[in-house]
Amino acid sequence: MKSLLEIFLKAFVGGLLVVAFALLAETIEPKRLAGVFAAAPSVALAGLILTVVFKGNHEAMDAARGMLAGAPAFTVFCLVDAPALGRLGAKCGSAVALLVWGAVAAAVAFAVAT
């Protein structure tokens, strides 16, 4: 079970990095990319930093592999979901995109693991 200190530090460091990336996002164009820089990288970095501190390099390497599988899968999810929502509606379109995300994430995770 995670210690209270570990949970607090993840929240604190994650918050600090979100603010840092949000400030960076304010300086780039187009502004629609601001959310990409404000959320995902900062949370991932905070998680990796604290995983190294509390659990060591091996656990952080496993987490990084999961991120390697999740990033392209999320990109494919976004590319599939936008048109699927228009054609199939919210429930079915999201379900289809989620299935595609799972397939891509599993394929990339398998490729990274071997």
In the chain, where the domains are located: 1-55, 57-114
pLDDT computed for residue 55 by the predictor:
82
Q: Cβ neighbours of residue 26 under 8 Å, at least 6 residues apart?
A: 34
Residue 35 confidence class, pLDDT cut points 50, 70, 90: low
**Coil/strand/helix, residue 85:** helix
pTM above 0.85, yes or no: no
pLDDT tens track for 81-111: 999 999 999 999 999 999 999 999 889 888 8
Distance CA 60, CA 65 (A): 9
pLDDT tens track for 36-88: 665 666 677 777 888 888 888 888 888 888 887 788 888 899 899 999 999 99
Q: What are phi and psi of 29, to 5 degrees?
A: -125, 145
